[in-house]
Amino acid sequence: MFRKTISLLSVLILAVGWFSSSFNPALAGSSQAKPVQLPVQFLNSMYKKGSSTLLSDLHTTPTQSNSLSISKEEILKYPKLNTLPDTSSNNKFSVSAVTYDVYNTTPDGAIFIKSGNSEQGYITAEGESRWFFTRVEIPNKLTVFLNPGASTTKDYDLHLYKLDESTGTLNKVSYSTKGAGQYEQVSYVAGTGYYFILVQSYKGFDVTQPFTVHTIQSDSYDSSEPDDNPWFAKNRGSATFSSSQTIDNILDEDWSKIKVSSDTTVRLNLNNTSAYGEYRLDLYDANLTSLGYLNQNTTAQIKLSAGEYYIRVIAPSKFDLTTPYTLTVSYQNADVARVVTSNITTDGGVYGFINYGYGQKWRIKNNITISGRAFDAQGNPVANAIVTTRIIVTINNKVFTASGTTNEQGYFTIPVNGLTSAAGKYSFYNSVSTHYFDIIPIDFYSGGKLLNSDINSLYHFAYQIR
């Protein structure tokens, strides 16, 4: 799917201090991965001597607030994928001292990371591995994040294993294998137990810039989890869908995969009603090249060629795990060629399709709603298209634009609010009073193209004198 496949740990036979591994790139990240066998001595060390009690003094049950504002630095900055969260001392993440020794090159030398904390380390040769582990006390969603460091040439992969305490084997449950210089992230809906984290050099190493591994647990998460990277993205296929999900921690990422069967205009909408969370949508092609981003509570459309694409929803600065956002993706069935206006309502008591001596036109004042229907060049209604209107008032030639989206039958409504007052350059006497008004232009666009329309001007009412 991407520029490489991951190295797969095959059979690992361990004794204390001894580690043997072989790799099969063809099986990268697949379910065919064989488990890692841990030595009995290491398993015994995970229990207090003379009892079956777990080393709970090393662990604390994680707690989590409903919302959190926390610095995440450049990890979410458009358009790069290789920007990283801050792990400096002024961040709310806790980072332990840098690990200079290399005793965690095998699972039985793994370094413990408490939830909500980070560990740093170095890889001193290409292909080397570093192992860590964490404990899930109660069933939670476990998220692990890898910051490879400042280098843009080294390529570190991230793998997550669950320990089967009855057999002493490690079974792979998640992985992330992006390109050089990019962060890696995995998540897993975890039961109680131990989880082992493998940081592995696919290409390059760095003995001056450490990597950082961070773990965090979420006690509340949506049913689409785990979906924190492209390999575990929810496959939405090629049909229109609407999905409501939550961001459950500051690192949480919700990935979806869509398939475009032929050149199509795709409509994207990200709606968030929470006052505490701020979200953003990022769009990527199959190679994880950024195609753009969309802020919350906005709609956009983009022309995509046939292929697979990825959508990522993130919280750049703050999240609210109690209020879901809604992601909607729909597909425009054709290009819009023309629109027909069926009605324009207005405030000010001036509603009507009238003739002031310059032809039949809709009369408007300050706040209006345009209703109409969009068609393609063959006269067929166009669904899921964004139609934009532009109105230019006379005073200062101020421009007003607004948009609406067509439904499955091609119908749309476009509210346009706050039109400034008319100058009253024209007048018309109707035997009762004289009406003063302007004649102002209106046009319509879709996909950046000017559309044919049944109207091109409006009567903009100013005032009347009896």
pLDDT tens-digit profile of 150-205? 888 999 999 999 999 999 999 999 999 998 989 999 999 999 999 999 999 999 99
Note if the pTM is more than 0.75.
no
Burial class (CB in 10 A: 0-12, 13-18, 19+), 163: buried
Fold for the domain defined by 25-70+82-218: Jelly Rolls (2.60.120)
Q: What is the amino acid identity at position 289?
A: T
Task: Say yes or no: do domains 25-70+82-218 and 338-465 share a fold.
Answer: no
Highest-confidence segment of 17-21, 102-106, 303-307: 303-307
Beta bridge partners of 292: 283
Whole-number pLDDT of residue 40 = 52
Q: Euclidean distance between the first and final Cα of the chain, in Å?
A: 74
Strand 338-346 and strand 368-375: the pairing is: antiparallel
**368 has pLDDT over 90:** yes
Share of the chain above pLDDT 90, in %: 73
Give residue 17's region: left, alpha or beta (phi > 0; psi -120 to 50).
left
Where along the chain do its domains lie? 25-70+82-218, 230-332, 338-465
DSSP string, 189-209: EE-SEEEEEEEEEEE--EEEE
Say how far apart CA 274 and CA 290 lie, in whole Å: 27
Residue given tokens 């005073």 in the structure block: 395
Strand 298-304 and strand 264-272: the pairing is: antiparallel
- Model confidence pLDDT, tens digit, residues 380-399: 999 999 999 999 999 999 99
**Residue 137 contacts residue 55 (beta carbons within 8 Å):** no
- Model confidence pLDDT, tens digit, residues 103-159: 799 999 999 999 999 999 999 999 999 999 999 999 999 999 999 988 889 999 999
Beta bridge partners of 245: 325
Nearest to 87 by CA among 197, 199, 215: 215
Fold for the domain defined by 230-332: Jelly Rolls (2.60.120)
DSSP classification of residue 287: T
Q: Judge: domain 338-465, CATH 2.60.40.
A: yes
Whole-number pLDDT of residue 55 = 28
DSSP string, 316-380: SSEEETTS-EEEEEEEESS---EEEEEEEEESTT--EEEESSS-EEEEE-SSEEEEEEEE-TTS-
Q: Which two tokens stand for residue 11?
A: 């059979």
DSSP string, 394-416: SGGG-EEEEEEE--TTSEEEEEE
- Model confidence pLDDT, tens digit, residues 25-64: 322 343 345 576 665 545 544 443 232 223 223 333 333 3
Nearest to 225 by CA among 186, 272, 178: 186
Residue 27 makes CB contacts below 8 A (sequence gap 6+) with 5, 8, 33
- Which whole number is the average pLDDT over 11-18? 26
Residue given tokens 């994880």 in the structure block: 288
